[in-house]
Amino acid sequence: MTPKKVLIVGGGSAGWMAAAYLEAALRDNGQRPVEISLIESPDVPRIGVGEATIPHIKHILAVVGIDPLDFLKKVDGTFKQAIKYVDWLDGNGEYFYHAFDTFQVQPIDRAALLWHTSDRSVPFGETTSMQPVICDLGLSPIPQRDSQFGQPLKFAFHMNALKFADMLSEIATARGVRHYLDHVTEVEMHDNGDIVAVLTKSGERLEADLFIDCTGFAALLIDKQLDIDWVDCSQWLLCDRAITMNVPYEHHFPGYVRPYTTATALSSGWVWEIPLQTRKALGYVHSSAFISEDDAEREIRAFEGQHAESLATGTVHFKVGHRAKAWARNCVSMGLAANFIEPLESTGLYLSDLAVVNLAQYFPFEDDMAPLAYRFNRIMANRFYEILDFINMHYCLTRRNDTEFWREVRRPERINNRLQAKLDFWRIKMPSTADFIDQHIPGQTDQPLPTAGLPGDHRPPVDTAGIFGLESYEAILYGMDFLAEECDEWFGKNRPETQVPGFIIERLRRAPQTYQPHDVWLRQFAGMSDYQRTSVSGR
């Protein structure tokens, strides 16, 4: 039986995730065998800025066969239980959490109604999850072995993405994925518009049936050869740069490792803080239209503290948008070649993850790829816009007006129509699970998706809560005081004090005996070094 040949062009996290996952998912599946190769340039610089994931990453690890503890050890990894948002509403030090582990009372969950009919004096997230307090206490999500109580809390990971790519490369090549370190100099095309082969600097001619473009924003195949348009979405997300910085713990260790990602709003964007086992990674995501690179660098240094003055910084340029068709002819684009949304909710790796998982399910064992591409492209477009809506919402709900940037993101034209329709609808009735069933909210337009001149499903995108459902929306909406005025009108201003459910209070009472401090767990089980707290002042 002739095997199907797959050539992945480009490495990094996207390329090696594709190689390792496809090899594992398609191996011994009873259909035609698959030969996978990957070519990457030896000269492309690798940027390690720290990466945060969502819980779905555990599916990739399970399919590839990576033990989570081994993963933590090899990728400088730590646990992530939530995202903490600081200064997003008023800029006065307020914060809220988007936690992963929430409680839903059955058969009818009235948590939101109970909170809205109270005085809302306790943050909504603390009435539905123990994780905000667990995060404030700096505890691991894994209960101690001798604890009589507690279950592991839902978590994702922080990691060094370069080490993750190296780990996947080692696994994939050991299982038969062919690895070429070479430069692609030319792409050979068929008269019908398909890609036939790539030619390399060393004289190789690499043929394949299916090509996967993981060449980043360069988009060597999907753009340069197949001319598939990039759909610009920067009118709704204005940030286009990131100033990055790493703070080694040998240089400055605060005495703890936070079990969450922090996103703190600054003058012209926001800073991520991603704690790893050996360092803290920061990045100031900002709009170059509102702040210069020099001023952005000064702002992130001031944010981190005096100990950051001597540390090197880097600059990452990006563009928010997506390829009109991620899969065109016999080429599938993944990673930055396919799409990009700023990493406010840690969806960068997830979109690559989603692409390769769906490609495995829609793998073209036969020659006719069009029906499979039809479905793949629809799923990727729906999920892109679902994420876009959710990230857009973080900006649109702010009350900040202290800088030109924050005043601009509040303007009506910076809210996309899908999100605006959701917000208008939810001012009539509170969000509920039924709102996320093949979602099409009154007020949304029927503008079709771009065609790129190819057949496909071009209906407007719909939100099916594939990644952000009711609990995620509630975390952001109510963390940013949505429906505050409506609640006063609906329920009056004299409302009873907010009550935290007793089962949450009881679990939190036992939490210090159930869960270890995050850094203690990492030292005991993942091999993290025992750094001494730095006496220098700073974050």
Query: What are the residue numbers of the active site?
Result: 80
Q: How far is CA 29 from CA 17, 34, 172, 204, in A?
A: 19, 10, 17, 30
Q: 3-state DSSP call for residue 25? A: helix
Non-local (6+) Cβ contacts of 204 within 8 A are 180, 182
Other Cβ atoms closer than 10 A to 48: 17
Non-local (6+) Cβ contacts of 411 within 8 A are none
Q: DSSP strand E in 210-311: where? A: 210-213, 230-232, 241-248, 261-266, 269-275, 279-286
User: What is the C-alpha separation between 442 and 454, in angstroms, rounded?
Assistant: 29
User: What is the C-alpha separation between 47 and 445, in angstroms, rounded?
Assistant: 39
Angle, CA 128 vertex, CA 486 and CA 472 arms, to 5°: 70
Q: 3-state DSSP call for residue 319? A: coil
Question: What single letter denotes the amino acid at residue 1?
Answer: M
User: What is the C-alpha separation between 149 and 488, in angstroms, rounded?
Assistant: 40
User: What is the C-alpha separation between 310 and 164, in angstroms, rounded?
Assistant: 28
User: What is the C-alpha separation between 36 and 23, in angstroms, rounded?
Assistant: 7
DSSP symbols for 70-125? HHHHHTT-EEE-EEEEESSSSSSS-EEEEES-----SSS--HHHHHHTS---S-TH
User: What is the C-alpha separation between 79 and 68, in angstroms, rounded?
Assistant: 11
* 8 Å CB contact between 205 and 197: yes
Number of helical H runs and strand E runs in the chain:
16, 24
The span from the first CA to the last CA of the chain, in angstroms, equals 60
Other Cβ atoms closer than 10 A to 474: 22
User: What is the C-alpha separation between 219 and 277, in angstroms, rounded?
Assistant: 33
Other Cβ atoms closer than 10 A to 394: 22
User: What is the C-alpha separation between 532 and 37, in angstroms, rounded?
Assistant: 45
Which DSSP state fits 212?
E
Q: How far is CA 534 from the centre of its chain?
A: 31
